[in-house]
Amino acid sequence: MPSRTVQPANGPLRGHIHVPGDKSISHRALMLGAMAVGETVIEGLLEGEDVLATAAAMRAMGATIERRGATWHVWGVGVGGLLQPATALDMGNSGTSTRLLMGLVASHPITATFVGDTSLSQRPMGRVIEPLSLMGTDFTASPSGRLPLMVRGLCPAVPIEYRLPVASAQVKSAVLLAGLNTPGITRVIEPVATRDHSERMLAGFGAEVWREGDVISIRGEAELKPQRITVPGDPSSAAFATVAALIVPGSEVTIANVGMNPTRAGLYDVLRSMGASIAFGQQRSVGGEPVADLVVSASTLTAVKTDPTIVASMVDEFPVLFVAAAFARGRSVFRGLEELRVKESDRIAVMAAALRAIGARVEELPDGLAIEGTGGEPLPGGGTIATHLDHRIAMSLAVAALNCRAGVALDDDAPVATSYPRFFADIGALHTA
């Protein structure tokens, strides 16, 4: 368990960085490439542990996946062609891999066992088990619907119309992926729009998928055609350098090639409402996804009260937004965040404890946090943070340390490799630029 102490910045952060490829898009590119017939080429794939777990699982079910220089090449088995894996599929810490692959397996005549690390094994899978069971899939899960679990797919599966009880792109995607190999039309009704990478990419690969109001439909037994995909920079990863530049006085940082899909960009809207100086340059489309270069300058932030309807567009960015609020002027209140309690950790409780450990004034609410900001002044720092195997907790507190009076110790920095392997190197480069 490698610990790390992050020291305060010794001056403004300056320079340009490229964040890793979007994690959500990387997962889906590998999965759909494996479901196409022919060779899919992927540029900019995130090579973090979560995505590599997806690649290993697709290989175990018959796809050929190779890295050649800067590109990844996937030779797929076609829709309906997944093979019985010889051993359990080890998902590591990746909830996205697990839930989406459960959907793929659900409509194939194979049985797959999913296992994961300690953190993933504590996360509930019932929200995916419920709709897939309605399609005829059989599950044997650990108590409370957790890993390890066994999925026995059904082919042909039964098309369903399913209303999401909570806004979840992972559940939506699992049902749509199950619908790929299911005769007829499978429909998902989502009460609040969630990230739409699955729909965009399914359409790009040639599936018949469409939206009418809040209903997303897919026609099954599709033939997917191989693609050349360029993965934009991950907006969730870009969030850390963004907040770092905002809270360290005198900073100006450019973050290149960041995906700005409107279903993912809620954080940037909230930060700008707090007074953040964030300019969007070179706006363009890459692989059907909007992309921009972000120019972020240190700013005087003011407190905010977020509308719960924005949660779906920035659910992974709340930990680092809490850090921004800790340095804002006034009391920020964040509600409607129940989903954060079932992430890699209970991100509400863990962030409350972590921020208190470095001197922030925080009140934990049943569904969120209230944070009294410093008005831009440094926090005391000096605390030791229990990261609970959560990459976003580790990175968020590393960002907070940059505007503390004393260094902040992370009990374990290894989880950062799941999504942003070069995070500490990138932040360090901004110190010396």
Strand-by-strand arrangement of the 215-219 sheet: 161-163, 185-189, 215-219, 209-212
DSSP H helices, 254-295, are 266-273
CA distance 75 to 66: 9
Residues contacting 18, CB < 8 A, separation 6+: 233, 255, 256, 257
Q: Are 223 and 199 in contact (CB under 8 A)?
A: no
Of 119, 144, 169, nearest to 350 by C-alpha is 119
- In what helix (H) or strand (E) does residue 107 lie, and over which residues does it extend? none
Instruction: Report strand pairing: 39-43 vs 228-230.
Output: parallel
Q: Compute the chain's Rg from CA coordinates.
A: 21
Place of tokens 């899939």: 137
- Taking CA atoms, 338 is separated from 136, 190, 238, in Å, by 29, 17, 24
The C-alpha angle with vertex 179 and arms to 132 and 166, in degrees rounded to 5, equals: 50
Is the bond preceding residue 156 a cis peptide, omega within 30 degrees?
yes
Report the alpha-carbon distance of residue 424 to residue 421 in Å, rounded. 8
Ramachandran category for residue 17: left, alpha or beta (phi over 0 → left; psi -120 to 50 → alpha): beta
Provide the annotated active-site residues.
316
Please answer whether residues 68 and 45 qualify as being in contact, where contact means their C-beta atoms are separated by less than 8 angstroms. Answer: no
